[in-house]
Each structure stands twice: as C-alpha cells, then as structure tokens.
C-alpha cells in the first residue's frame, strides 16, 4: 500500500512520467469505466475461452499419459525421452509451427495453449503415481484389482493431490501463453488489447488489463484450492500445494 501511495504522489508531482506510470487512482478509474461500459467483457471472454479449452484438451491428455507412464514402465521408457525433449522448448517459439499445421484461426491458438498445459499436468500426474507406496499396489493386485479397478482404487486417489498441483501449474502456464499468443496474432482477447493500447500509449488501460489478468489467476487458483479441499480431504490443502508448486 505504501508503494502505491508513493507511486501516486510521484506521478502527480511529475517525478515519474505519467505516460508510462499513470497514477494508481487513474488506473482504477479506467478499470471501473471498462467494466461499467462493457469494453472489457468481450476481450476477457475470448481469452478465458481459449485458456479453458486449451487446459481441458492439454490437461486431459497430460493426465492420461501421466497415469499410463506412472503405471507402466514400458510406456515410461518410450515416452520419457520425447517428453524430456519437447518440454523445455519455448512454447511461443513453437507458434509458427502450429500456424503452418493448423492455420491462422482459433485452432492454432488453442492448440498452443493445450501444448503449454500438457506438460505440467503430465509431469505432476507422473510424480503423483510414482510416489504411491508400493504396498498399495501389491495389496490391490493381490485382491484381484486390474485395469479400471486399479485406476479407481489406487492410482486415482493416490495421485489426486499432485494432479491438482499439475492443474494449477497448467492453468497458470496456459494463461501466460494465451496472453502471449494473443499479442502475437489475435485481434480479440486481453493480449490483443494490451498490444493495441500500448501502441496508442493508453498505458492506464494496459495496467488495468494487467490487474484483470492477475485477478483471473487468483480466481483460478482459489477455485482449484477449494476443489482440492473438497476432493482430497486427507490432504492439508493449501499448504501441500504451495509446498509442491513452489
């Protein structure tokens, strides 16, 4: 709060450029106007659509492959080198390839977001399966559990805490990539609007949009934390996720 007060005073007094650092009060007024007039909602809606669809596609794929790699050594041996090679690649640097393969429409943008969400979900799910005590595997197999029964009784409950961790990481990464890809090639969305207002030096709108993006991240993480507390009652909730995510 003190930093915001100093920022306000410095901008009003002309100690810093109000063009690049508009007063916080001006930013909040601008944000309020964008909300009331409806100027914010179309961009926010399209960004959330791209992000949620990308997380759904990439997250489900990462979840399933993570379970398979964790449960089967042969699958892990085949897939692990591919994952290790593709995971470090900068996601936005891959966008031209997605454009060539899928065109300049929504498919390439959503696919890149899915690609970004895939790896955190995969690696967290794999770690969740691998940390399951071997005793549970042996007990389930001795009682005749195979296939879907093994998944339902051992793999799913044992890996679920790390699955939520992966989902949080996937959501955050997907939001970053969604904004980035919109800045590169979209005409709609929060990222496209950021680029537009920067080009026209409407920096108060730029900061207002950054606040909205931050609030989206907070809301998404809060929702997942709530879901985790309800679905994984045997874990301590936020402390566990914060420790594993950071």
Name the residue ranges covered by the structural domains of the chain: 49-245
31: nearest Cα among 217, 239, 211, 218: 211
What average pLDDT does the segment 57-77 reach?
91
Residue with the larger pLDDT of the pair 1 and 127: 127
52: nearest Cα among 112, 118, 110: 110
pTM for the full model?
0.85
pLDDT at 244: 46
3 state DSSP class of 234: coil
5: nearest Cα among 22, 17, 20, 23: 23
Q: Alpha-carbon distance 17 to 11, whole Å?
A: 6
Residue 235's pLDDT band, with cuts at 50, 70 and 90, is low
Tokens of 153: 């009784």
pLDDT at 166: 93
CA distances from 149 to 132, 146, 152, 202, 221 (A): 16, 5, 5, 57, 31
Tokens of 184: 């590169």
Residue 213's pLDDT band, with cuts at 50, 70 and 90, is very high
Longest dimension (CA), the chain: 76
Residue 144's pLDDT band, with cuts at 50, 70 and 90, is low
pLDDT at 135: 73
- 49-245, superfamily in CATH? MetI-like (1.10.3720.10)
pLDDT at 2: 82
- pLDDT for residue 210 is more than 90: yes
Lowest mean pLDDT segment, chosen from 23-27, 45-49, 70-74? 70-74
Residues of the chain with pLDDT > 90: what percent?
61
Task: Enter the DSSP assignment of 140.
Answer: H
pLDDT at 229: 85
Which are the contacts of 160, defined by CB distance < 8 A and separation ≥ 6? 128, 231, 232
114: nearest Cα among 171, 179, 186, 75: 171
pLDDT at 95: 94
The answer to whether residues 43 and 208 touch, using CB atoms and an 8 Å cutoff, is no
- pLDDT for residue 103 is more than 70: yes
What average pLDDT does the segment 138-142 reach?
64
Q: Alpha-carbon distance 233 to 244, whole Å?
A: 17
Lowest mean pLDDT segment, chosen from 8-17, 162-171, 226-235? 226-235
Q: Alpha-carbon distance 63 to 172, whole Å?
A: 16
Residue with the larger pLDDT of the pair 146 and 77: 77
């Amino acid at each position: 709060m003190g930093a915001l007060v100093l920022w306000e005073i410095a901008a009003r007094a002309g100690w810093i450029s109000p063009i690049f650092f508009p007063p916080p009060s001006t930013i909040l007024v601008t944000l309020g106007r964008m909300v009331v007039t409806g100027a914010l909602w179309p961009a926010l809606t399209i960004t959330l659509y791209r992000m949620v669809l990308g997380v759904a596609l990439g997250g489900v794929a990462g979840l399933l492959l993570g379970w398979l790699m964790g449960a089967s050594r042969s699958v892990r041996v085949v897939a692990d080198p591919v994952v290790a090679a593709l995971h470090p690649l900068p996601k936005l640097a891959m966008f031209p390839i997605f454009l060539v393969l899928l065109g300049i429409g929504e498919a390439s943008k959503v696919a890149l977001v899915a690609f970004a969400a895939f790896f955190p979900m995969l690696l967290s799910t794999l770690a969740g399966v691998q940390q399951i005590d071997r005793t549970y595997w042996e007990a389930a197999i001795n009682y005749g559990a195979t296939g879907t029964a093994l998944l339902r009784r051992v793999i799913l409950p044992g890996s679920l805490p790390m699955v939520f961790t992966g989902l949080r990481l996937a959501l955050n990464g997907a939001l970053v990539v969604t904004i980035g890809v919109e800045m590169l090639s979209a005409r709609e969305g929060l990222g496209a609007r950021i680029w537009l207002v920067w080009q026209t030096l409407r920096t108060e709108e730029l900061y207002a949009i950054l606040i909205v993006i931050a609030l989206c991240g907070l809301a998404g993480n809060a929702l997942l934390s709530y879901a985790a507390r309800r679905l994984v009652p045997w874990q301590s909730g936020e402390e566990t996720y914060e420790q594993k995510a950071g």
